[in-house]
Structure 1
Amino acid sequence: MVKAESPRALEQPGKMYVKGKYLYVNEIKKGIHIIDNGNPASPKFVTFINIPGNGDIAVRDNILYADSFSDLVSLDITDPAAPKEVGRVKNVFKNGLFDGGGWSLNESVGAINDQNVEWETETITVNCEENVSPGWWWGGIIAFADRAFLSNSSSAAPQSSGSNGQAGSMARFALDRNFLYAVGQSQMHLFNISKPAQPVDFATINLGWGIETIFPYDNKLFIGSATGMFIYDNTNPAEPKQLSMFQHGRACDPVVVHENIAYVTLRTGTACAGAQNQLDLVDVSNPSAPQLIKSYQMENPHGLSVDFPTLFLCEGKHGLKVFDVTDKFTVDRKLLAHFKDMHAYDVISLGKTLLLIGEDGFYQYDSSNPKDLRLLSKIPVGKAI
């Protein structure tokens, strides 16, 4: 049921993604808006891609990846006005709603479950040799399996990668070399995208319950969960290896990283049932043993983005806060600005431009002076541009 439709107004915006001059804004569980942002002061809706059950977005070159209930779909967006489905991995997200629903407090979305069982009976004729040692037989199978595994691992090793876009801190999709990573509520799915239009279900890693976000950085994967932050070594992108877990009290938490510091937000008022509203700075210089630097109390922190030394932090209905994080021990005393006239869910810093999304719409700012953000444009909910 994936198809291109006429542009429509924002109704319930969710995740956002940017690549080149185009913005991709998720309409929670309905699809993706493609917006021409060649002129940030005057963005224009190009098309709406109807993708039932969609929650996340990633773009490599001219291929867009999106979840659709239990499936992963790939679309050719060479012509943004006429995107076309070119690939689909069926029934890979087994519960039919890999992200657990949307982020709106008032939203209630049920999962779709599908079971399609086919039974086959086959008779096989074998020639059993009485004098063959069972040990040799099993050894041969194991040796064959080992060779097959090594061959598969070798062929999966990426040689090159295309041009990726940029996601916000709330993303459940991440791209690294020839792989797309999708974190569900308890698992990380690896898709081989060496042939970008035809993703292949490659592997699944069990992470534990309450997984929420993924942030790739410096050959590592930083994964936010309801109880902490996982760090995976991604030197071999076909086989991520867990290095550590930084634990905190139960709370929803996205994470972003700059150099040796991870910035983690924890908030209440969600399905995570947390009791903390704070920003944690974590030393990840030794990724096998992350250490808390300091915690700072916040109002209701959501997504965040770092353009060092500036940290942009979304506070939900309390707006957007801008901090100078040069001194990691005095962040609370270096509040540069607090913009209270919007709902702030997630943010992406693009140097001199800042993208922000919330329940009331999509905002763009000139952020060349972080103390005085200048509004370039706004796409309010309920209005098509």
Structure 2
Amino acid sequence: MKLKYLFLSIIFISIWSCDKKDLDLELVQVATPELMTKVDFRNSVEITTPETIEKVGKIYAYKNYIFISDINKGVHVIDNSNPALPKAIKYIKVPGNEDISIKNDFLYADSATDLVVFDISDISSISLVERLEDVFNIYNYNIPIEAEAVDYSKVDWENNIIVGWTVTTEKRKKVDNRFVDPGVITNDVAFNAAESVIGKGGSLARFQIVDNYLYTVGNHEMAIFNIQSLSSPVLDGKQYAGWNIETMFHADNYLYLGSTNGMYIYSIANPSSPEYISEFTHWEGCDPVVVDGDYAYLTLRGGNACGQLESVLEVIDISDKKTPTLAGRYELENPYGLGIKENTLFVCDGNSGLKLFDKSNPLDVKLTKAYNDIQSKDVIPLKNSLLMIGGNTLYQYEYIHNGVKLISSFSLK
């Protein structure tokens, strides 16, 4: 009889232990990196005929061409000689790409940890001419949105590049903060003529060319490249730029960095060594910025990964660069990029469409027009036309009195 009770006690304890252990576990969506060796990664650059864009990224205009990034994949080249009938003509496969910038027919692009340079003087025969290895730290790993945890245990940071993800459901021990910020995992190597023709990017850009320098920003670091020899850029240096930097805009010898919690202002009077001047702080939110004269205009997008507060357009008085102050705030729905053409401020309000504001009086910005039947993400106001991307479409508009008129819409899928 005693043996019977002892046996039942053992079973009860075992069950209780298992239940207690299960209480400490939960089902978690775990993202595991798909890896490629750096050698194979660097040999995978390729120039091909047009391909379908998988995930539309940023937009860039240069001469009669439009360049649209395919996030983490490469850059699509569109011939825009006839804006009414744009035509895809080339695809530059650049794995790990987020941004580009162009000067005098040399295209600079990030490729994960590297900076690559292409000669596009003959658009029918684009060629890779230079690669600077391990000059960037990777901040945006494009982790799947559904992932609740990331497993980096098999990543050799010195020799591997993350090129994709596999998401599986696993039992994991409950923790308060599952994510490890990959930005803090660093690669030791990464730390240790005639008038110029420079292209123009949208407000979501992280690359800016100013004279003989290319400036790039990551999550918290700025890299400065001397591009006096266009085909052979030289990394002049790196410096701390702020925190959670998302965008960069250049105006009047200053760089304006948009972050999730503010706007940083840097002087480039000494172009090889940008000098921190000041910052304007706000609540947490995704934050592109553009500047015109004494005022900066930025959008804050609340919700999701961008923060929990409202979405707004802010106008910042930067007449005194050392003490920027809030001059106005206007409610929006779901803003992304923005741009300026004379007294018109174009704001991409996501699913709520494109909105036009009269900023002739920056202290009293007024909504003048709303195009609600389109999705908008970013704009580039050119001299004679407005370029816009939204959803999977490239839109082009001509300027008309008190608004814009559609020239063409080009499907990117």
| Cα distance between partner residues in 2 of 1:12 and 1:101 | 11
Asked whether the 8 Å contact 2:242–2:264 carries over to 1, the reply is no
- Residues 75-90 of structure 1 correspond to what in structure 2 (within 5 A)? 75-90=118-133
| Cα distance between partner residues in 1 of 2:50 and 2:391 | 19
Asked whether the 8 Å contact 1:252–1:270 carries over to 2, the reply is no
| Cα distance between partner residues in 2 of 1:85 and 1:270 | 38
| Cα distance between partner residues in 2 of 1:8 and 1:207 | 36
Q: Where has structure 1 moved over 4 Å in runs of 4 or more? A: 104-108, 110-113
1:367: which partner in 2?
Answer: 399
Q: Pick one of 353, 361, 368 that aligns with 2:385.
A: 353
Q: Does 2:205 align with 1:171? A: yes
| Cα distance between partner residues in 1 of 2:146 and 2:196 | 39
Instruction: Report the count of equivalent residues.
Output: 335
Deviation at 1:368, TM superposition (A): 3.0
Superposed CA deviations along residues 67-124 of structure 1, whole A, max 9, x for unmatched, are 1111110001011122111111111123xx344549x97799x89863159xxxxxxx
Q: Which amino acid aligns with 1:28?
A: I
| Cα distance between partner residues in 2 of 1:31 and 1:315 | 26
For the residue of structure 1 that corresponds to 2:316, the secondary structure is strand
Q: Does 2:44 align with 1:44? A: no
Q: Which amino acid aligns with 2:98?
A: G
Deviation at 1:160, TM superposition (A): 9.4
2:9: which partner in 1?
Answer: none
Deviation at 1:351, TM superposition (A): 3.1
Asked whether the 8 Å contact 1:265–1:279 carries over to 2, the reply is yes
1 or 2, which has the higher strand percentage? Answer: 2
Q: Pick one of 367, 381, 384 that aligns with 2:412.
A: 381
Q: Does 2:270 align with 1:239? A: no
| Cα distance between partner residues in 2 of 1:225 and 1:245 | 10
2:19: which partner in 1?
Answer: none
Q: Does 2:292 align with 1:249? A: no
- Residues 108-127 of structure 1 correspond to what in structure 2 (within 5 A)? 114-115=157-158
- Residues 129-168 of structure 1 correspond to what in structure 2 (within 5 A)? 162-168=196-202
For the residue of structure 1 that corresponds to 2:400, the secondary structure is coil
| Cα distance between partner residues in 2 of 1:105 and 1:378 | 29
Asked whether the 8 Å contact 2:57–2:69 carries over to 1, the reply is yes
2:314: which partner in 1?
Answer: 280
1:130: which partner in 2?
Answer: none
| Cα distance between partner residues in 2 of 1:113 and 1:77 | 34
Report the identity percentage: 39
| Cα distance between partner residues in 2 of 1:232 and 1:274 | 28
Superposed CA deviations along residues 236-261 of structure 1, whole A, max 9, x for unmatched, are 11111011000111111000000100
Deviation at 1:274, TM superposition (A): 4.3
Shift of the 101–46 alpha-carbon distance from structure 1 to 2, 3 Å rule, reads same
TM-score by length of 1: 0.82
Shift of the 337–229 alpha-carbon distance from structure 1 to 2, 3 Å rule, reads same
Asked whether the 8 Å contact 1:342–1:360 carries over to 2, the reply is no
Q: Does 2:222 align with 1:188? A: yes
Q: Pick one of 63, 71, 87 that aligns with 2:114.
A: 71
TM-score by length of 2: 0.77
Q: Pick one of 340, 347, 362 that aligns with 1:306.
A: 340
| Cα distance between partner residues in 2 of 1:381 and 1:359 | 9
Q: Which runs of 5+ in 2 are unaligned?
A: 1-43, 161-192
| Cα distance between partner residues in 1 of 2:362 and 2:210 | 29
For the residue of structure 2 that corresponds to 1:271, the secondary structure is helix
Asked whether the 8 Å contact 1:222–1:230 carries over to 2, the reply is yes
Asked whether the 8 Å contact 2:312–2:329 carries over to 1, the reply is yes
2:53: which partner in 1?
Answer: 10
Deviation at 1:275, TM superposition (A): 1.5
Q: Pick one of 94, 103, 108 that aligns with 1:60.
A: 103
Deviation at 1:327, TM superposition (A): 2.0
Shift of the 113–221 alpha-carbon distance from structure 1 to 2, 3 Å rule, reads farther
1:267: which partner in 2?
Answer: 301
Asked whether the 8 Å contact 1:88–1:199 carries over to 2, the reply is no
Q: Which runs of 5+ in 1 are unaligned?
A: 118-158
Deviation at 1:15, TM superposition (A): 0.6
Q: Which amino acid aligns with 2:382?
A: L
Q: Which amino acid aligns with 1:260?
A: D
Asked whether the 8 Å contact 1:280–1:296 carries over to 2, the reply is yes
1:337: which partner in 2?
Answer: 369
Asked whether the 8 Å contact 1:351–1:368 carries over to 2, the reply is no
For the residue of structure 1 that corresponds to 2:96, the secondary structure is coil
Shift of the 240–160 alpha-carbon distance from structure 1 to 2, 3 Å rule, reads farther
Deviation at 1:199, TM superposition (A): 1.4
Asked whether the 8 Å contact 1:64–1:77 carries over to 2, the reply is yes
Q: Which amino acid aligns with 2:384?
A: K
Asked whether the 8 Å contact 2:295–2:362 carries over to 1, the reply is no
1:145: which partner in 2?
Answer: none
Q: Which amino acid aligns with 2:286?
A: C
For the residue of structure 2 that corresponds to 1:330, the secondary structure is coil
Asked whether the 8 Å contact 1:160–1:177 carries over to 2, the reply is no
Asked whether the 8 Å contact 2:249–2:257 carries over to 1, the reply is yes
Q: Which has the larger radius of gyration?
A: 2
Deviation at 1:262, TM superposition (A): 0.3
| Cα distance between partner residues in 2 of 1:221 and 1:209 | 15
| Cα distance between partner residues in 2 of 1:37 and 1:229 | 34
Q: What is the Cα-based RMSD across aligned positions, in Å?
A: 2.3
